Structure 1
Amino acid sequence: MLSQEDYDMQFGKTQISVSQSERFKAVTSAALGNVMEWFDFAVYAFFATIIAEKFFPATDPTVSILAAFAAFGSGFLARPLGSVIIGRIADTKGRKIALIITIYLMALSTVGIGLLPSYETIGILAPILLVFFRLVQGLAAGGEFGGATAFIVEWAPENRRGLFGSFVMASLCAGMLLGSGAAALVTTFASEEILSAWAWRIPFLLGVLILVIGVYMRKQVGEPPAFEASKKESHHEAASSGHPAAAALRAFGLSIAWTGSFYVLLSYMPTFSQTILHLTKAEALWSNTVGLLTIVIAIPALGLASDIFGRKRVLLLACVFFALLTYPLFSLMIAYPTFQVVVTCQIIFSLLAAFYNGPAPAAMAEMFSTGSRTLWMSLGYSISNAIFGGFAPFIVTLLIKLTGSSQAPSFYIIPISIISALVILRMKETAHTKLH
């Protein structure tokens, strides 16, 4: 990204020489590890209808799906705890050890879900253990986002933090893309009987492979230069924007529309496409996969745009687009529930979401000082995620049932976009400032 072979990263009085090869290796290892972890975490959502049948049987299919999404949301309840425990480890012991811990927790709990007997086999113990494994996944996810974001942004060149930070969400979406693609492949080539009997477990069992590769990759890199430098500076605990708790509150507000829209448009959509639009399982999953591919490609471009034009402008555009276009796009899908229309709308939704997901990681990381970045950033993000993201599929499903309107997803996304827009308007522009 830079013309010079070595980049001297300035942190207070401490300079650390960083070669482009070191930076590439570090960012690649973090991003690929993030891909693997989020493959594990997200695959649950893509098999929600089958999980509902296997672990939450009920006479009313909607009740089963609500229960399955409640279990999905339970993973997000553990994220604030994970952000505190693992975030503290990252800020005191190092980013690297924290990221290794998260990949162990995520992979082992995912394999646990893949091996878990159904309700028909072990009764009430099945949903209890399912929720337990989701809680462990949530602990890992709570530490992974903040750890990976801090790690990548702190390795970034000063004028490309938006681009580098966008790799966090691009890799997260790539993990979801792989999960959606794996679910689509299994659904396409397995019969309904085989899929229900055992084939749905295959993506979960891939957690074993993810564990081996992910841990190896993350052990090969060192700590970010900014983190190493911060340990040598006496002032590194001073927050870049006042007390870290105040910055965490801003991070919370910034994340409301970010997480809510993300989990409605990229996790819940396969279920919406099947239950409301009556697409087949394969069509719904392939449509979602196309949307995820779109956002993976678009996110880095919007991260780079925030380096040039500023974080606030790009983030505010995202909120405006969500507020103005969500209702018309859902109306179009409901009026013309064909595979072609749904794919087109999901591509547009993904492009809109990229306006948020591109600049948001860097914008959030820049709110905090290096000595407290992972803990407080993770806490603000994970609490917002637990409230507005993890339970978004549950809330939207419930709204559809209570209101009788298939437009319920837009009733959720529009107000949370307005709330986050008000928070963003009060933020300082940090795109062209130094990390502290």
Structure 2
Amino acid sequence: MRSPVAARPSPVDDRLGRSELKTLTLAALGGALEFYDFVVFVFLALPLSELFFPKGTSPWLAQLQVYGIFAAGYLARPLGGIVMAHYGDLLGRKRMFTLSVFLMALPTLLIGLLPVYAQIGALAPVMLLVLRVLQGVAVGGEVPGAWVFVAEHVPPSRVGFACASLTSGLTVGILIGSLLTAAIHQRIGHDALLAWGWRLPFLLGGVFGFVAVWLRRWLRETPVFEAMQAQRALADELPLKRVLRAHGGAVARSMVVTWTLTAAIVVVILMTPTLVQVVFHLPPSVAFLGNSVASAALALGCLVFGALSDRFGPARTLAAGAAALLLATYALYLDLHHGAAHFLPLYALAGFAVGVVGVVPTVMVTAFPPSVRFSGLSFSYNVAYAVFGGLTPPLIGATLKAFGPLAPAHYVALAALAAIAVAAGLRTGRRMPPSPGA
């Protein structure tokens, strides 16, 4: 049984065994299915804006209202994250890891069954909002819990790749949503999409979620938590109280890098397919094809940046990756602004650069000791994601008029510079610390 604070591992300990690879695979697959449930909403923002608000509503206003409902899912994340993290630090990681995916599957299925505005009036957007909030509660416990779970199952020198592989799995969920949405747009007309086609991704997502619940039956509790139980080293007070009292610096750093993660994912991956249609007038088929390519590149980029983090240290990798993200995002939006002649390759490049988000969980996991790791990471990540993830879609929509079509790139650049500042303040090294929480 691996101690929560282990000595420097031997070369044999550095290898990922069959059990650890199985854990990473099942965790990543389950995370992909759950994250698909959470993000497919944004890919259907345009039809939802027509269906859940009265006819005659200005398109930009209806779209802004849908983005507001999308943002509500982010605002609900701290509630789920804090509660699940509290019990995850006291009762075990696996229990909360399984509960979160169940709480995601149910509201996703129900969204696919909702009546629209033409059927029940103003109650339709209210019900959509409530179910979106429930999704936010679930994902608030899922993402930080997943990072902690995989990090505590692998040797300390492989924490970067482990967290990145889970993040890569989450991005595969985005890819599934993008591919499915693109297929629906290509195979059925707009009228059929509004009549019934929009429901398919949510109904399938509910099924995907229950498959993820079943998959997690095969996971075991983390060795780090089992060791804390055996040594009676669990938190003897509210874990979050200890985090806020003793780990303020770690919370601040984690919140800043979460902003970078949020800006990269929400703007470059989730919002760009809609923006290229509305702002740059590309057809939906091209927009979603580009997003599929970018999402695939993102999944690969997470693995590459995670491996680099184990090799060169998270600080150096974060700084280099954030600089690449800044440059690639500007290249994409400048090309869009001048006619989109190179949209697909530049979107793929930007997606790969977004893979720097694979380093972010390593920075956060290694910032907190095991006894309060779940609570510290979850609080920092979810509060920051609630603020930045919730504000980003309406903020981008509002600043497009003020700053022009490059506004999304300006926003991502600011977040990337913030990550570079955090990286400069971290101690760099070629290997991970001896323990992810030491």
Same fold (TM over 0.5): yes
Aligned to 1:350: 351
Contact 1:75 1:137 in 2 (8 A): yes
CA–CA separation in structure 1 for the residues paired with 2:41 and 2:278: 17
Check the 8 A contact 1:302/1:359 in 2, yes or no.
Answer: yes
Deviations 1:313-349 (A, max 9, x none): 11111222334443343111110235xx221221111
Measured in 1, the distance between the counterparts of 2:322 and 2:340 equals 26
* One-letter amino acid of the structure 2 residue matched with residue 422 of structure 1: A
Instruction: Write out aligned runs for 1:264-275 (5 A).
Output: 264-275=267-278
1:175 positional shift? 0.5
Seen in structure 2, the aligned counterparts of structure 1 residues 12 and 330 have a Cα distance that, compared at 3 Å, is: closer
Q: Distance in 1 between matches of 2:333 and 2:99?
A: 40
- 1:423 aligns to what SS in structure 2? helix
Q: Who is 2:32 aligned against?
A: 35
Cα pair 1:12 1:233 within 8 Å, conserved: no
Greater Cα shift, 143-152 or 418-427:
418-427
* Superposed CA RMSD: 2.4
Question: After superposition, where does 1:22-421 map in structure 2 within 5 Å?
Answer: 22-57=19-54, 58-235=56-233, 237=235, 243-338=246-341, 341-354=342-355, 356-403=356-403, 405-421=404-420
Deviation at 1:78, TM superposition (A): 0.5
User: Could you state the TM-score of these two structures normalised by the residue count of structure 1?
Assistant: 0.92
| Aligned AA (2:386) | A
SS in 2 for 1:66: helix
Conservation of the 8 A alpha-carbon contact between 1:240 and 1:366: no
TM-score (ref. length: structure 2):
0.91
Task: Extract unaligned runs of 5+ from structure 1.
Answer: 1-7
SS of the residue corresponding to residue 372 of structure 1 reads helix
- Aligned equivalents of 2:328, 2:286: Cα separation in 1: 24
Q: Matched residue of 1:371: which SS?
A: helix
Distance 1:165 1:402 in 2: 38
Tell me if the contact between 2:105 and 2:209 (Cα under 8 Å) persists in the aligned partners.
yes
1:103–1:230 CA distance, 2 compared to 1 (3 A): same
Query: What SS does structure 1 have at the residue aligned with 2:370?
Result: coil
1:11 alignment partner AA: P
Output the amino acid matched with 1:285.
Answer: F
The CA distance in 1 between the partners of 2:224 and 2:100, in whole Å, is: 22
- Between the two proteins, the alignment pairs up a number of residues equal to 425
Give the drift of 1:113: 1.0
Structure 1: how far apart are the matches of 2:209 and 2:389?
26
Q: Deviations over 1:186-241 (max 9, x none)?
A: 11111111111111110100133223311111112210111111223355659899
230 and 244 in structure 1: CA distance in 2 versus 1, 3 angstrom threshold: farther
Q: Write the letter of the residue equivalent to 1:120.
A: A
1:413 is displaced (CA, Å) by 1.4
CA 280–324 in structure 1, closer or farther in 2 if over 3 Å, else same: closer
Q: 1:208 to 1:352 in 2, by over 3 A?
A: closer
- Pair 1:261–1:212, CA change in 2 (3 A): closer
Structure 2 letter corresponding to 1:433 = P
User: % of aligned pairs identical?
Assistant: 30
Partner of 2:2, secondary structure, is strand
Label 1:425 to 1:234 Cα distance change in 2 as closer, same or farther (>3 A).
farther
Q: Is the 8 A contact 1:66 1:398 kept in 2?
A: no
Tell me by how many angstroms 1:390 deviates.
3.6
